[in-house]
Structure 1
Amino acid sequence: MWRHIAANALTLLTLGLFLLGGLIAWGSREYRAPGPLAEAICLEVPMGGSMSGVANDLMDQGAIGSTFIFEVGADYEEKSSELKFGRYRVPEAASMQEIVDIVTRGGRSTCGAEVIYRVGINRTIVDVRELDPATNRFEEIASFIINEEDAPSEYVALKEEGTASFRLVIAEGATSWQIANALGQLDILQADVRDAPPEGSLAPRDYDVEVGDTVSSVLRRMAEVQEEILDAAWQNRADDLPIETPEEALILASIIEKETSVPEERRQVASVFVNRLNRGMRLQTDPTVIYGITEGEGVLGRGLRQSELRAATPWNTYVIEGLPPTPIANPGQAAIEAAVNPDTTDYIFFVADGTGGHAFATNLEDHNRNVARWREIEAQQNDDG
């Protein structure tokens, strides 16, 4: 009898430990996973505040999904006693672990007014935002285009006061020349760069900057991030790809980036180019022809001519075999990951479908029908325009 009781007790203990281990593993994943916050907020930690109070505030603002996991995670990392008072910007989708790090790291206030430099393909837009105390959300108070409009007084005042936070948002698909040139025009940075970094070497994403930072230091940070992204993607690449080096993956990713702005299409587009490379077909992609004309300096600003499609340049994939010698832009992380992990398809053609996406085909007959349909859409758009 006692042996039977002991066996049952051991079974229950084992089951309990198993469930506890599963619960801990789940809680750990939740603590590190991206959070539910859809837009950045300003979090105020009062003097003498507690991690429990911070957790409740975050829960009320929809930044975390569990106050319990937040507090337990902070305790486990021994950061509950390191809470620093101040006002902190909590970025969208921040994990609980990231938020704990933000409120215990301290440093300058990251909330209040924020200046965002949006470096795009054609221009740089400056958005000035300020926190609305009623909603604890940022609201735009001014916006202007660098070198096309005068800076508004709100921007000038914030820059002189030194109370705002400054952030760069680099567009995916911008070239290294476009990025370096745009940074050199920002009046908060010291322009100390003459030559653009190698094409494709800069990671397009958000970066916090401060007044007085040098352009070279910002570009160096971008290059370090891109190298980390590329290394991680290459380590997790699919088998039997027709590319042999991380640099070739970066070249392919840059073409994918320029060919589609639809996130769901990246791996499909990647599959087309992988299939073409595997079959010994030329890539025949217009963005490479454009890069052969501009070499990344500026925007072509018009359609391609037939003579340009036939012109021999190192990047013209209508003429050359395989990949061009360098990337044609700076691809984002998603495009890099798509290049090394494409969808498995039989597609070898694609063309615009009029919705912003593309129509894919496995044979020339279907592709020609898709092209004809796109020509009709183009003609209708021109008539409407």
Structure 2
Amino acid sequence: MRRLVRQSLLLVLLLFALLAAGLLWRVFSPIPLAGGKIEFTIGAGSSMRLAAGEIAAAGADIEPWLLIGLARVLRVESSIKAGSYELAQGSTMLDLLGKLTRGDVTQAELLIIEGWTFRQLRARLDAHADLQHDTAGLPDSELLTRLGAREAAAEGLFFPDTYLFSKRSSDLDLLARAYRAMQAHLAREWQTRADGLPYRDAYQALIMASIIEKETGRADERSLIAGVFVNRLRQGMLLQTDPTVIYGLGEAFDGNLRKRDLLADTPYNTYTRRGLPPTPIALPGLASLRAALHPAASDALYFVARGDGSSHFSRTLDEHNEAVGRFQRRSKP
């Protein structure tokens, strides 16, 4: 009888050993993947059970109960991070749990370009395949409310930069980051601004920066152009800058700015209205912000394109008219 009990016990132990060996082999062996690589997303607040189900549904040949059990044994069941993940061929269950607990998410990027309008930015967001489109169809006013923005218009409020994000992140979250970045840069530059600038507040400096952004792409001319516009504001002159007129025309602008456009009064026509337009006209970069708040000290009131990408600056209208005639003749075929 004792011998039979011993044999039964040995058999049970052997079975347990075989089962344990099988489980260990499964844990340390590469996970078979559909297509050699899979992508999956773990939602915020997901349990380990939900996560295991998502991973299996994405094409990983795993037993969800085994992954859950391993997580419990390692005491990481509640440590998984939300986000988008990629699992490559050769990864084991331990590798997978490591990814989930480190938050080793896959990232995408969005480049917001200096000089874009907010309309262009929204179009880029809507077309981005790796974003969750929570703002699609929202009016600008509702979007600003969700961002907690105090401004009445969205134009110019988002800082141009390259933004990395986890795939399937909300486009609203990305806009919030760009909005906070612009607020931080603007506040910092406003604190160190030059004395005596003709701006009521930092928002007017942002408007000026957007005009500078659209007037030139040359780093060495931004502060000079800012100096011209600041001098004009101080003297109560019209700014007479084409980019504001073009912005005011909106979709009616066909690429050719005509004399009648310069005479058509809109809130953005700086040929017919004094001072700054009511909002920015584009997304300014940091260099344009700094130029607006640190304009070159000069007495120039005019500038004209030379035709080679640079500008000629003049102090008087006579000098300007002479320069216009000279450079326009040179640019004609």
TM-score range, shorter chain: 0.5 to 0.7
Distance 2:330 2:172 in 1: 45
1:343 matched to which residue of 2? 296
Distance 1:215 1:378 in 2: 44
SS for the counterpart of 2:181 is helix
Distance 1:371 1:166 in 2: 47
Worse-superposed segment, 354-363 or 369-378: 369-378
AA of the residue aligned to 2:261: E
Structure 1 residue 374: deviation in Å?
A: 2.6
1:254 matched to which residue of 2? 210
Q: 2:196 aligns with which of 225, 237, 240?
A: 240
Q: 2:308 aligns with which of 338, 345, 355?
A: 355
Q: Structure 1 residues 163 and 227 mapped into 2: Cα distance closer, same or farther (>3 Å)?
A: closer
How many residue pairs match? The answer is 220
Structure 1 residue 372: deviation in Å?
A: 1.5
2:134 matched to which residue of 1? 192
Distance 2:289 2:119 in 1: 20
Q: Structure 1 residues 212 and 299 mapped into 2: Cα distance closer, same or farther (>3 Å)?
A: farther
AA of the residue aligned to 2:203: E
Q: Is the 8 A contact 1:175 1:200 kept in 2?
A: yes
1:306 matched to which residue of 2? 259
Q: Is the 8 A contact 1:180 1:219 kept in 2?
A: no
Is residue 178 from structure 1 mapped to residue 93 from structure 2 by the alignment?
Answer: no
SS for the counterpart of 2:130 is coil
1:85 matched to which residue of 2? none
Structure 1 residue 207: deviation in Å?
A: 0.9
Q: Is the 8 A contact 1:180 1:215 kept in 2?
A: no
Worse-superposed segment, 188-197 or 264-273: 188-197
SS for the counterpart of 2:132 is coil
Structure 1 residue 376: deviation in Å?
A: 2.1
Q: 1:272 aligns with which of 221, 228, 235?
A: 228
Q: 1:166 aligns with which of 108, 117, 132?
A: 108
TM-score normalized by structure 1? 0.54
Structure 1 residue 163: deviation in Å?
A: 8.6
Distance 1:325 1:337 in 2: 20
Q: How big is each residue's C-alpha offset from its partner over 1:54-81, in whole Å with a ceiling of 9 and x where there is no partner?
A: xxxxxxxxxxxxxxxxxxxxxxxxxxxx
SS for the counterpart of 2:108 is strand
Unaligned segments of structure 2, at least 5 residues = 1-82, 84-103, 145-153
AA of the residue aligned to 2:227: S
SS for the counterpart of 2:169 is coil
Is residue 231 from structure 1 mapped to residue 231 from structure 2 by the alignment?
Answer: no
1:215 matched to which residue of 2? 171
1:53 matched to which residue of 2? none
Distance 2:139 2:324 in 1: 40
Structure 1 residue 166: deviation in Å?
A: 2.2
Structure 1 residue 248: deviation in Å?
A: 0.5
Q: Is the 8 A contact 2:112 2:161 kept in 1?
A: yes
SS for the counterpart of 2:111 is strand
User: What root-mean-square deviation, in Å, do the aligned CA atoms of Structure 1 and Structure 2 show?
Assistant: 2.3
Identity %: 42
Distance 1:272 1:234 in 2: 19
Structure 1 residue 221: deviation in Å?
A: 0.5
Q: Is the 8 A contact 2:159 2:181 kept in 1?
A: yes
SS for the counterpart of 1:263 is coil
Q: How big is each residue's C-alpha offset from its partner over 1:260-281, in whole Å with a ceiling of 9 and x where there is no partner?
A: 1001111000000000001110
- Equivalent positions of 1:87-166 (< 5 A) are 165-166=107-108
Q: How big is each residue's C-alpha offset from its partner over 1:323-380, in whole Å with a ceiling of 9 and x where there is no partner?
A: 1111111111110111011010011001111121111111112211221233123312
TM-score normalized by structure 2? 0.63
Distance 2:322 2:331 in 1: 14
Distance 1:234 1:301 in 2: 36
SS for the counterpart of 2:163 is strand
Distance 1:299 1:332 in 2: 26
SS for the counterpart of 2:109 is strand
Distance 1:248 1:172 in 2: 18
SS for the counterpart of 1:242 is coil
Q: Structure 1 residues 373 and 345 mapped into 2: Cα distance closer, same or farther (>3 Å)?
A: same
Distance 1:261 1:292 in 2: 21
Distance 1:168 1:316 in 2: 32
Distance 1:337 1:303 in 2: 31
Q: Is the 8 A contact 2:114 2:285 kept in 1?
A: yes
2:161 matched to which residue of 1? 205
Structure 1 residue 237: deviation in Å?
A: 0.6
The structure whose Rg is larger is: 2
